[in-house]
Amino acid sequence: MRDLYNKPGLVAAVIFALIIATLVFKKVTREETLIVPVEDGKAQTGNQEESQTLSEAQAMKDAESGFSLSFPMACKLGKDCWIARYVDREAGDVAADHTCGSSTQNGHKGTDIAISDLARMKAGVSVLAAAPGTVLRLRDGVEDASVREAGTDGTKGQECGNGIVIDHGQGWQTQYCHMKQGSLRVTPGDTVAAGDVLGQVGMSGLTEYPHLHFTTRLSGSLVDPFDGGKFETSCEADGQSLWADKVPYQSFVPLPAQFSTEPKDLENMWQPGPKTIPSDSEAMLLVGRGFHPQRSDIWHFTITDPDGKVVLDNKINMEKSHQVYVGFMGLEKPEGGFKPGIWKGSIHVDHGPWDDYDQTIEIEVTP
């Protein structure tokens, strides 16, 4: 049994000769304020020039006066959903989140909350109203498809995909984008309470993975819910959070590990891993995925066979930082196939001076 790793002796014809996939999302210009139709059928875009501007002091004042946000998804943060990107708080070509960290994308105008894979999306994850209000406008009917497959041309004018805008009074609005086609439960004019189900997380519009893009505005201006600061002004606002319950910040987001029998890349990394692997599979791969790994991070992969023997023990040293990353290491099929039984995988991420992360996963090999 040989490690699937770049080293002399591997036959070039083996489809797994390229073993470590170190990948980044292709940067796409995103109008993340997005377009959602108004009730009369005309379109209104959220990135229009506004006559009113929002100061950080006013945002804090409004927050103190009672406006607050509940978490807009029915999930447990850090367990089955993760914040993939925050609002970009620096102008120009520099991207920085509200902590002045790098967990955002240049020009990103909302908070992205991701789920693990397309199977989770299919099962259904509810999108919830973040505050009481009235449904102002919405759109449904946009197909759930990655722009990597469908291209960006088809998203023009509907970058938000299936989405909802809720008016909360006193100038406050929230917007919910990339929802699942056919899942919306409300209509314009409906009154909702905080926590009411609006629909489900999807992958519609200008997106590459299943998530909710959540935006907060006051008097038309984008507001970062983590400290009340403005979009592309400063990452040092030091204001008051709008979240009713604390939403912790996480600079690096490891997604659940997977086993696979084929290489993973940005095209297929959101497909769910198999529940079992046949013993005659050509390879067994342990896959690590995550948002915002940093240069010098170390990913340590181990695979243990049903007898408790460690049969793979290798590391990937990150040579540069990434918006999103998928990497794998694994084993070629041994003579006679993989031994039936329960195999275990472990991934330890040494995240530099920050926290370390550990993941474990099991897979059954069937005869």
For the ranges 49-58, 102-111, 147-156, 202-211, which has the lowest average pLDDT?
A: 49-58
**Stronger pLDDT, 94 or 332, i.e. the higher one:** 332
Residue where one domain finishes, among candidates 184, 204, 223: 223
The domain that holds 69 is classified in CATH as 2.70.70.10
Answer yes or no: are the C-beta atoms of 188 and 138 closer than 8 Å.
yes
Answer yes or no: are the C-beta atoms of 111 and 231 closer than 8 Å.
no
pTM: 0.84
Residues 69, 160, single domain; the answer is yes
Residues 117, 201, single domain; the answer is yes
Residue where one domain finishes, among candidates 223, 238, 266: 223
Residues 21, 40, single domain; the answer is no
Residues 14, 43, single domain; the answer is no
Answer yes or no: are the C-beta atoms of 173 and 224 closer than 8 Å.
no
**pLDDT value at position 320?**
94
Instruction: Flag whether 20 is in a domain.
Output: yes
Q: What is the pLDDT of residues 194-230, one digit of tens each?
A: 999 999 999 999 999 999 999 999 999 999 999 988 8
The domain that holds 345 is classified in CATH as 2.60.40.10
Q: What is the pLDDT of residues 102-130, one digit of tens each?
A: 899 888 999 999 999 999 999 999 999 99
Instruction: Flag whether 302 is in a domain.
Output: yes
Is the pLDDT at 187 greater than 70? The verdict is yes
341: containing domain? 3-25+252-366
Mean of pLDDT over the chain: 84
CA angle in degrees (0–180, nearest 5) for 210-214-220: 145
Q: Which two tokens stand for residue 328?
A: 């794998």
Q: Give the number of domains in the chain.
A: 2
Residues 44, 42: Cα–Cα separation, whole Å: 7
Beta bridge partners of 343: 363
Residues 214, 262, single domain; the answer is no
Instruction: Flag whether 242 is in a domain.
Output: no
